Amino acid sequence: MNTNKLFSEEQKKAARYAKAMAHPVRMYVLELLSKQSCCYSGDLSEVLPIAKSTLSQHLKELKDAGLIQGEIESPKIKYCLNKENWEEAKQLFKNRFNL
Amino acid sequence: MNTNKLFSEEQKKAARYAKAMAHPVRMYVLELLSKQSCCYSGDLSEVLPIAKSTLSQHLKELKDAGLIQGEIESPKIKYCLNKENWEEAKQLFKNRFNL
DNA sequence: TTCGTAGTTCGCAAACTTACGAACTAAATT
DNA sequence: AATTTAGTTCGTAAGTTTGCGAACTACGAA
């Protein structure tokens, strides 16, 4: 399917963000971060019933989608929302669906 | 992964709704319906660059997720948002992310 | 310099998604 | 009864996602 002209960039972005949210683990992480600003991936690892490698994969997806960012605080990594993109995502959803 | 106790039902629902939105075609349909209350799948078929069978599949996903409902108006089918679930989805997103 | 901690990458398997065309169903029209 | 219209279902192919454990990297502490 050639999507070049048929969907707006905004629709594609909104769908992309929705995809990043489309898994309970990732929803959990986003929800946590939207409430407490930061967390360590070790803390997530303790609480979530998945292998570390799997968690790492989910965090990578959130990073690739632009919704979170990690900061090294050796030996841990501190994750926060990427505020700019997070605001964009919220705006996209609000505008589309008048939430 | 056993998700029985680890994520709230609400997180799972929210992720489920996000998944339904996680494709440009489905985002397009939802956006349209949130703006104009109804549409015929034939109209969508004319405007979207995908095979009828593929569109049918996407509409089925939205139906299965509970976000839309179809009503037969022979020989066409009229689609609308499923208002109850749509409100639920919006509420879930608002509450989670204080949008 | 070796060890432990924290996290990532690799390789793989199983399941799911996306897309298509062909064949099908259901109902209204001719 | 045959045709047309509108949409669904089936079978299939290619690609993506989810998950795991094992092997790896990076780096601070002993």
Which residue range(s) make up the domain with A82?
9-97
ipTM: 0.91
User: How many CB atoms are closer than 10 A to CB B8?
Assistant: 13
Tokens representing A26 are 């990732």
Using CA of residue A52, residue A57, residue A62, residue A66, what is the dihedral sign?
positive
Residue B99 counted as domain residue: no
Distance B73 CA to D9 C1' (A): 21
pLDDT tens, residue by residue, B8-21: 889 999 999 999 99
Residue A4 counted as domain residue: no
pLDDT tens, residue by residue, A44-87: 999 999 999 999 999 999 999 999 999 998 889 999 999 999 99
The torsion of the CA quartet A19, A21, A25, A28, rounded to 10 degrees, works out to: 180
Q: Is the CB of A76 under 7 A from strand C?
A: yes
Domain count, chain A: 1
Q: What is the pLDDT of residue A74?
A: 82
Rounded Cα–Cα distance for residues B21 and B18 (Å)? 5
Indicate the residue of A6, A28, A99 with minimum beta-carbon distance to B49. Answer: A6
Q: B53 — phi, psi (to 5°)?
A: -65, -35
Residue B3 counted as domain residue: no
Q: What is the pLDDT of residue B7?
A: 77
Q: Is the CB of B96 under 7 A from strand D?
A: no
Query: Per-residue confidence at B30, pLDDT binned at 50, 70, 90?
Result: very high
Q: Is the CB of B2 under 7 A from strand D?
A: no
Q: Which residue of A has its CA nearest to B31?
A: A96
Residue A1 counted as domain residue: no
Q: What is the pLDDT of residue A8?
A: 83
For residues A34 and A81, is the Cβ–Cβ distance under 8 A?
yes
CATH code assigned at A55: 1.10.10.10
Residue B33 counted as domain residue: yes
